[in-house]
Structure 1
């Protein structure tokens, strides 16, 4: 009955078009009403929302969001695109590779797949069109590659996962994301290169040493943010929360003082946009924590865990089932709420299989990365299509090969834990 009320009411509210945060809050309240009076139910939901947000770690989220918005406005994307051009200029379909590499770099700095799809796609789409690239293919490349930055740190997604699991090392999660993120980008480049060669897309002229030097110099300072943030966290110089404040200060210095791409008068709008985004994310987190409490109150995670474990004694079958569930969820739900709702449900299952929590964090992120590129709710798909002016129906055919590659990466990361754990063990002794 608890499962029926919680997930049934949640599904019904979503079908009615209720915003997901409100759907989560209302369904959680209805679940508590099964066990206690209305006054107690409303009180415990409010308490859980407030206490769940009372976390020092969560301060990192608004800071990283602000840093990403500053970079998005500060001309950082153009400098990274110039660097990507000299790195991929001689490959078949070079502009497609430039798009992928730029998304990897900018997505890592901004921490947002949607921001990356908008910033990089907005610059690359007109250039690719002038060079004779099919706009639908260009859009597919942009949409499929923009989530790579969610794996390459700093990543707010991994910060949220750390909070849900009760303190999984953020440093280990950050370092664990590098190889899967880079592997995803390289795999997409391989597919893009094969398609580009078959279609005869042009290869960019060889860059001169002067152009290479200029591109590297222009990109050094933006890329320095990753070195400072990740290096500081790994060395113990500061925590992930303190690193987020450093990221804001550094991005402000670049955009406001060094490059002068934004003015002081632009800051209020950037701050307001960041505050709105932060409020949406934190309200969603608060409601999801209340739902997690409702699930725990009704023993839902244990019930589902016992059911999944009872399906088979084979860990491979259980992991494939989890992968299928996450891929399905990702097509209907955005990344953050999916992470908040289903991590508490699936974590007991993977704990029973002896799967490391850092490895599982990467598994969940990689799975849900695929979801934001797929209809009907894929935010990156909608943004990428709107930026290029190509309809979603036109994008679906050229993006199918990239979906196959992304699913292949999901399976590889799931069943080869050393892809995620090698660097944490090597660098952090995890």
Structure 2
């Protein structure tokens, strides 16, 4: 019965996916089809429809979920409000001496941007639109430039604040957002460094030089200009850690602060604000619809016994903790190629969290590993959101960037394995901050 449910659920979903049906709609159709085929027929379609509607609404009836649209809006404001440009100039100041410095600037700027916006897609779009023309001017291969931008963007969902980490916290039943946020700093930095090393090696082989740009303002002026933007990170994280406000309220603070900076920099107008709100509403509605349909799928999976069956299958392969984690990583990397991050978090958290708890892994450690897996998936076809946005912004084709993405992908997987098997990388800072009891 369980095998039938698994085949029905994922079979219908992937048929919908490859047929071009939107992911959220495909999830809903697959869930309802599985319920009709696998559940007791006595309640009838009417009762099943009621359950589906009830689960759909309960899935998005959460105060914590309000953090997602607020951080999305903050990222959009950063992009249009002049904040991203100032972060790029600061990054170039730090890494201008490196061969292929513009690629290094892109990596560092994505890390800065992600530390405020919490969105890898927003980072891909913002940094790509700024860096691509500069790199083209200096003779960089556009495919190389796009690959660096695409592969460094996932640092934005690891370095806090992070929308996916908030979503994982909710789905996992209240894992501390503060602990997840503090746990994301070192893994996010490690991911960025691994991509940077490969980017520098390729730049050296291609003969790209260090910076010859002469800034028209002193270095101290560039730093001072960027400080207000970087203070957004300190304000958000300090507020959460000191208990001044929740993660949701932190999103509101980020919007107000970044909005104020945008008007002070005279980059935002009332027309900009309307467009930003409209864009945020569209993207937030898409995310919430994904969450609602994924909640139906999670319910169908639970009732069908799918999580328990998958757990038993994985535990049956080996009782070795390291082997189990390797199997999970491989599975999630493959799923990340086909599933967007939001539904993947909602679908697989209930499946894998009980397994990692049974082998003594911290839910905070697992959350960082889990989100990084899906972030890496965002740079791979066929559903990689960062890949498609980065190729669009860089005006290149997927076939062209692939040869550069492959070595960077390998470096990202190395970072993932280090994070998986060295708990201190994820738990060291939360432990020192008193947010987790052990490492």
Q: Same fold (TM over 0.5)?
A: yes
Alignment partner of 1:396 is 2:399: no
Partner of 1:301: 307
Q: Contact between 1:176 and 1:358, CA under 8 Å: does it hold in 2?
A: yes
Distance across 2 between alignment mates of 1:137 and 1:69? 26
TM-score under structure 1 normalisation?
A: 0.97
1:219 is aligned to: 226
1:118 aligns with 2:125: yes
Residue number in structure 1 paired with 2:426:
420
Are 2:61 and 1:54 equivalent residues in the alignment?
Answer: yes
The alignment status of 1:241 with 2:241, answered yes or no, reads: no
The list of structure 1 runs, each at least 4 consecutive aligned residues, that deviate by more than 4 angstroms after superposition, is: 206-210
Equivalents in 1 of 2:242, 2:335: separation in Å?
37
Which of the residues 189, 193, 199 maps onto 1:192?
199
* 2:32 counterpart (25, 29, 32): 29
Question: Aligned pair 1:259/2:262, yes or no?
Answer: no
Q: Distance in 2 between matches of 1:208 and 1:287?
A: 51
Contact 2:121 2:386 in 1 (8 A): yes
Q: Distance in 1 between matches of 2:348 and 2:390?
A: 27
Number of the residue aligned with 2:354: 348
RMSD: 1.5
Figure out how many residues of one structure are paired with residues of the other and give that number. 429
Give the conservation status (yes or no) of the 8 Å contact 1:86–1:207: no
Q: How does 1:9-408 map to 2 (within 5 A)?
A: 9-33=12-36, 34-35=38-39, 36-205=43-212, 211-256=218-263, 258-408=264-414
Deviates more, 1:338-347 or 1:355-364: 338-347
Q: Deviations over 1:137-178 (max 9, x none)?
A: 111111110111110011000010001101000000011000
Q: Provide the rounded CA distance (Å) in 2 between the counterparts of 1:267 and 1:208.
A: 31
* Mapped partners of 1:65, 1:349: distance in 2: 32
Q: Secondary structure at the match of 1:6?
A: helix
Deviation at 1:82, TM superposition (A): 0.3
Give the Cα–Cα distance (whole angstroms) in 1 for the partners of residues 272 and 211 of structure 2.
36
Tell me the secondary structure at the aligned position of residue 52 of structure 2. Answer: helix
The whole-number CA distance in structure 2 between the counterparts of 1:331 and 1:80 is 30
For the Cα contact (< 8 Å) 2:98–2:209, is it kept in 1? no
Worse-matched range after superposition: 387-396 or 200-209: 200-209
Is the partner of 1:428 in helix, strand or coil? coil
Whole-Å separation in 1 of the counterparts to 2:108 and 2:19: 39
Unaligned runs of 5+ in 1: none
For residues 194 and 270 of structure 1, the distance between their equivalents in structure 2, rounded to whole angstroms, comes to 38
Distance 1:79 1:208, change over 3 A: closer
Distance 1:265 1:367 in 2: 38
Question: 1:62: how far off?
Answer: 1.3
Displacement of 1:198:
2.2
1:370-393 deviations in whole A, cap 9, x for unaligned?
111111111111111121222111
Conserved in 2, the CA contact under 8 Å of 1:89 and 1:204?
yes
Q: Distance in 1 between matches of 2:216 and 2:16?
A: 59
For residue 199 of structure 1, report the CA deviation from its aligned partner.
2.0
Task: Report the TM-score, using the length of structure 2 for normalisation.
Answer: 0.95
SS at match of 2:79: helix
Aligned partners of 2:75 and 2:118 also within 8 Å: yes
Contact 2:104 2:196 in 1 (8 A): yes
Contact 2:179 2:435 in 1 (8 A): no
